[in-house]
Chains A and B, each alone.
Chain A
Amino acid sequence: MSRKPDDDRDDFQQWVQPLLEQAAGYAYSIVGNHADAEDAVQEALWKAYRGLHSYDRARPFKGWWFAIVRNCCLDLCQQRRTRPRTVPIEHAHQVAARAAKAAEPFREALAQLTPLLREILQLRYFGGCSYRDLAEALAIPEGTVMSRLYAARQALAAVYGKD
């Protein structure tokens, strides 16, 4: 028996709740501040909820969800380039900001990679995505995930080697 969209809506919270912290960390790795990361995750939640009819249960939810988070982050970065934030609201996230300082060298090292290599490492390390999730999020075969992730790790190690 096929499931109705309403069934997916009932399950949505259970699926997405355990992924919120990783999604926030992943969004932070792209947008670079907590306020924008939260905005991106919130936008992703609405988009995912509205687009549940397009989600195929045979595929990994996490990969589908992270693809939406990624798109929302990229949209937000685009908007911020044209309409930057005028009010500093980072003080609302002081605790998280202090913790995130430990991740800054990692973000800076990732920033030196090509977008193709950077995005797979961001999904792997900040998002905690498996190869299947990575394949879904990046729309590439799992074999490509293995080789690209290896190349990305080598490139990142080279960046650290330069320092």
Chain B
Amino acid sequence: MLPIEPAELSAFLDGELPARRAEEIRAALAQDPVLRQSYELLVARDGDWNAQAAAAMFRPRVRIPRAPVAGRFVAAAAVMLGLLLLRIALKALPPLYGAGLEAMLLAIVVGWGLRHIMQTTDADRRRYVLASDS
């Protein structure tokens, strides 16, 4: 077994050593009282510092950002404008042919628009969170 570096003992305490090396150190600690004493000192200090640092933690009153809403409204407005232009363009076609096509295209566009708006609403509900409320 390689000699144990002090920095390794510190990493062992943090649970950051590879399993095999950690096992070697565990075995050494069981056999070597001096090493064990050093380790116990590290553990005690670490526990003390962790407790003091934990006292400083607090729930901040912050807002987690979300996708801009304005962009969603612009997209909805673009859909409506597209719909209007489509209607104007279809007016130029013969009445019978144009009416069927218009109804079909209107259904597709309206369906797509509604789906987009519903999805947006759900996504925004998930995104918009005041951290202090959760």
User: Do A and B truly interact?
Assistant: yes
B59 x A125 contact (CB < 8 A): no
Q: Which of A39-47, A53-61, A73-81, A111-119 contacts B (4 or more CB under 8 A)?
A: A39-47
B55 contacts across to A, CB distance below 8 A = 99-103
A147 x B53 contact (CB < 8 A): no
B31 within 8 A of A: no
B45 x A157 contact (CB < 8 A): yes
Minimum CB–CB distance from B31 to chain A (whole Å) comes to: 22
A90 vs B49: C-alpha distance when bound (angstroms): 25
B42 contacts across to A, CB distance below 8 A = 153
B58 x A103 contact (CB < 8 A): no
Minimum CB–CB distance from B25 to chain A (whole Å) comes to: 13
A63 within 8 A of B: no
Q: Give the contact-size bracket for chain A.
A: 35 or more
Give 7 nearest A-B pairs by CB, closest first: A25-B57, A102-B55, A103-B56, A150-B7, A125-B53, A96-B58, A106-B52
B20 within 8 A of A: no
Q: Which residues of B are interface residues toward A (Cβ below 8 A)? A: 6-8, 10-11, 14, 16, 42, 45-46, 49-67, 123, 126-127, 129, 131, 134
A16 x B64 contact (CB < 8 A): yes
Identify B60's interface contact among A42, A99, A105, A125, CB under 8 A.
Answer: A42
A137 within 8 A of B: no
A14-38 Cβ-contact flags toward B at 8 Å (1 or 0): 0011001111110011000010011
Minimum CB–CB distance from B105 to chain A (whole Å) comes to: 28
Q: A46 with B59: in contact, given A106-B49, A150-B7, A156-B49 (CB under 8 Å)?
A: no
Minimum CB–CB distance from B52 to chain A (whole Å) comes to: 4
A25 x B126 contact (CB < 8 A): no
A99-140 Cβ-contact flags toward B at 8 Å (1 or 0): 111110111000000000000010001100011000000000
A105 vs B56: C-alpha distance when bound (angstroms): 11
Minimum CB–CB distance from A95 to chain B (whole Å) comes to: 8
Identify A25's interface contact among B16, B56, B134, CB under 8 A.
Answer: B56
A130 x B58 contact (CB < 8 A): no
A125 x B14 contact (CB < 8 A): no
A160 contacts across to B, CB distance below 8 A = 45
